[in-house]
Structure 1
Amino acid sequence: MAIAQPAPAPRSTSRWARWRRWLVPLFGATVLALLLSHAHKVDWRGAWEALQRYPLWLLAGVLAIATASHALYGCFDLVGRRFTQHRLPRLQAWSIGVTSYAFNLNLGSLVGGVGLRARLYAKAGLDQATISQVVALSLATNWLGYGLLAGGLFAAGAVALPAGAPIAPWALRALGVAMVLLVLGYVLACALARGRAWHVRGRAIHLPSVPLALVQLGLATLNWALMGAAMALLLGGDTPYATALAVLMAAAIVGVVMPIPAGLGVLEAVYLALLSGSVPHGRVMGAVLAYRALYYLLPLAGGLVLYAGLSRYAAAHPEAGAVEAVAQVPPVLGA
């Protein structure tokens, strides 16, 4: 089905593009200043001692949670497979999702989440329209779960803002309510669509069914919950699970605004700022460093192995490149 050409960008969009040139660097400088303001206060010796005090069983448990989280993220691409009805094997689609996630965390979303995933799917034989749908559904799944879980935590007041924070507690609660309402609005839109196309700025957007939308929410919410569980274990009993999860999700949105590969410095700055009053800096830094090693770096090694395996499989099965994707709907372009 042909897709109408998008209309010229409205003036409001171009105005936002001009503002964004200044706002993003300003926001990045603010976060960097926040990190530097805490860097000289960090007990680096305490951080190293905290790392050494972690028992092996705890590190193994956190690694198991991280592995489960990465495996669960690979199921996001199975949602795209179900929606587009393409014919790639489930294991291959899942492996592409897991590989792209590992690269996404360490090299940024444009390289891993979009670029690498598109390359692997193209080598597997999917057409560009189907690839766009799968990538869009995966991104939408991740952030829908984030909106539901983070919105609930913010609305419940699980994040204790430090003194002098640029946002008031009531504003954060209002933001949380708005996030939950947006997610519920997505599910409602899926219910109202019933196979129809929603036209946004000249593009046709087809939404999944309500059951598939609920699967999206369930997978992504569980994935974010696992990430929070890993950090809560590393922080120990001093930090409640809800607090550890809420701070992690606050750091995630800061990392999106500041597209630094692996969020270097962002995670540390946010955790130091939000937990400085309740957890010693050395313990916070030890937990963040351990989290980076177990959730970012070790899975990247597994992602490299999967990438090599997928590449060899594509080279050994050139007939797979002739697979015709059964794309019965136009590309999902909203996400």
Structure 2
Amino acid sequence: MDDKAVGGDAAKPNWIKRLTTLVTALVLVGLVVLAIRHVARDFHPAEVWAYVRLLPWARVAQAAGLVASAYLVMTLYDVSALKYLGIKLPYRTVGFGSFAGYAISNNVGFAVISGGSVRYRVYSVAGLSAADIAKIVVFSTTTFTLGITFTGALGVAIGPEVGAGLLNLPAWLLQGIAGLVLVGLGAMTVAAAVTHKPVRLWRWSFALPSSGVMLSQIVIASLEILLSAAALWTLLPPETGVGFMEFTALFCAGLAIAIVSHVPGGLGVFETILLLGLRDHGPAGGAIGALLAYRFLYYVLPLVLAGILLLTWEIRADHGPVAAWRRWRARKAGRSQ
């Protein structure tokens, strides 16, 4: 009886967490549906396809180059994590594992599970343990969180107009909040430099990395986010007239809400947030066309490339299901002779 009671008590937090996650996702999806209905009032499919067809190849090539650069910088998440853990792996392995992991998790969602599974498949062959790979995932997630917080706050501090229009709040209030966030990040960096003890925040306690590691995390993630935002900004209609840092703040907001929603790839959520923010900056058709082109360049192409690379790696490797199937076929052929 006591064991059952203990087990039931232990299970409650998990059920509460799952229920909270589900309710949050459903609420966000519901809000997105309402927002889509609002945005779709000015939506004309013919305008979208016309904009996509008429996109200059030079701008598409520029956006593709920025996307490629963003994914290249993204591999540094794992590089810095391995350096922090004191583990040495050739960049060829790290670049492959991290690129494939991010390309798949960006589309599937649930990055810790989907991206972590890909990393485990690649890094475990290189000799890393499951615990090491879990630490890499946590470190990379922390890096991204620091980067999107810093970049989003900096964007709002420099250009609060789009956010103020979206939230119907005074620009000075958003700038003040962004300033507090930046001060908080600065305080965390200083705390990491002067203390090596865990930091307590209300009920939570967590250990800070060194100030050098934290700064490198912020720089790497911020650069990756800026490159990703620049790729989409390049594809927007020229008449949109939104400054880059203003747009970056909106981009970070859309990205963060898409991640929290747990919708695979943030499909529809990310686009809706950006369309709401840009609704007073030109026709919706051009913005939707730019978002479609961006989704193809940033999500679809890397996913296809990652799939081809993983399949090629499995076929050429002497491990895994493909190698096991080949060995089974060889044994079967030997017995038949």
TM-score range, shorter chain: 0.7 to 0.9
Whether 2:147 is the aligned partner of 1:134: answer no
Partner residue of 2:324?
Answer: none
Letter paired with 1:125: G
Partner residue of 1:101?
Answer: 102
Please identify, of 294-303 and 152-161, the stretch whose mean Cα deviation from structure 2 is larger.
152-161
Partner residue of 1:226?
Answer: 227
What pairs with 1:1-335 in structure 2 (closer than 5 Å)? 21-108=22-109, 109-161=111-163, 165=167, 169=171, 171-194=173-196, 206-238=207-239, 239-311=242-314, 315=318
Structure 2: runs of 5 or more not aligned: 1-8, 321-337
Root mean square deviation, CA, Å: 3.2
Partner residue of 1:323?
Answer: none
Question: What secondary structure is seen at the aligned counterpart in 2 of 1:123?
Answer: coil
Letter paired with 1:292: R
Q: Which has the higher contact order (CA 8 A, sep 6+)?
A: 1
Please identify, of 196-205 and 245-254, the stretch whose mean Cα deviation from structure 2 is larger.
196-205
Deviation sequence 1:62-96 (CA, Å, 0-9, x none) = 11110110011011100011011113222211221
The structure that has the greater radius of gyration is 2
Report if the CA contact (8 A) 2:147-2:222 is conserved.
Answer: yes
Q: What displacement does 1:138 show?
A: 0.9
Report if the CA contact (8 A) 1:198-1:206 is conserved.
Answer: yes
Question: What secondary structure is seen at the aligned counterpart in 1 of 2:42?
Answer: coil
Q: How far apart in 2 are the matches of 1:164 and 1:75?
A: 33
Cα–Cα, structure 1 residues 43 and 207, in superposed 2: closer, same or farther, change >3 Å? same
Question: What secondary structure is seen at the aligned counterpart in 2 of 1:51?
Answer: helix
Letter paired with 1:270: I
Cα–Cα, structure 1 residues 167 and 110, in superposed 2: closer, same or farther, change >3 Å? farther
Report if the CA contact (8 A) 1:198-1:205 is conserved.
Answer: yes
Q: What displacement does 1:50 show?
A: 0.6
Deviation sequence 1:109-141 (CA, Å, 0-9, x none) = 244333322333233321122112211111111
Q: What displacement does 1:246 show?
A: 2.0
Partner residue of 2:334?
Answer: none
Question: What secondary structure is seen at the aligned counterpart in 1 of 2:125?
Answer: helix
Q: TM-score by structure 1 length?
A: 0.80
Structure with the higher fraction of residues in helix conformation: 2
* Count of residue correspondences: 308
Percent of aligned pairs with the same amino acid? 23
Question: What secondary structure is seen at the aligned counterpart in 2 of 1:160?
Answer: helix
Q: How far apart in 2 are the matches of 1:86 and 1:241?
A: 38
